[in-house]
Amino acid sequence: MPSVADIDASAALDGNETESVPSVTVTGNSVTDGGGNPGQGLVMFDAGQVLVVPGMGGAARVFGNPVVVEVYAGVMVPVVLPDTNLAFPTSFTYTVTLRLEGADSDLVVGSVEISRLLYPSATCDLSELL
């Protein structure tokens, strides 16, 4: 998994793209380690493929993988991700990996759907995915 220095924020959606690409914002307001202490580390969202949205009168938008966000003092930096069921003609899932400092191993959850069909408010918390 990449370190914090390797984070490529361009892999997530920016504010302008959320209008044209169905998306969900993932937050993490209480990320703790195995002892219940506020966690520090990284969360990786990996679709396992490069996702491409055809351009609407312009260039296509390519979403790289994985999207990596930082967890500091138990709070994950919010990230806007393409909707797994509505953003592309074919549905996909994410593998979500939580890597916290001092943990014996990573927590890896596969086949995670992050969709407005499941979260109508277009926002979900990391705890709902793990």
Asked whether residue 19 is assigned to any structural domain, the reply reads yes
Average pLDDT (77-102) is: 92
pLDDT confidence of residue 12: 59
Facing residues of 94 across strands? 112
Task: Catalogue the long-range contacts made by 15-20 (C-beta closer than 8 Å, 24 or more residues apart).
Answer: 15/80, 17/61, 17/80, 18/80, 20/53, 20/56
pLDDT confidence of residue 87: 87
Asked whether residue 66 is assigned to any structural domain, the reply reads yes
- Give the tens place of pLDDT for each residue, 14-45: 544 445 788 999 999 999 988 889 999 999 99
Range of the domain at 59: 4-124
For residue 7, pLDDT over 50 is answered with: no
Cα(63)–Cα(48) distance, rounded to whole angstroms? 11
Number of domains in the chain: 1
Asked whether residue 130 is assigned to any structural domain, the reply reads no
Asked whether residue 95 is assigned to any structural domain, the reply reads yes
Cα(123)–Cα(112) distance, rounded to whole angstroms? 15
Asked whether residue 41 is assigned to any structural domain, the reply reads yes
Tell me which DSSP letter residue 12 carries: S
Q: Would you call 86 helix, strand, or coil by DSSP?
A: coil
Average pLDDT (123-129) is: 95
Asked whether residue 129 is assigned to any structural domain, the reply reads no
For residue 4, pLDDT over 60 is answered with: no
- Lowest mean per-residue pLDDT among 12-16, 58-62, 97-101: 12-16
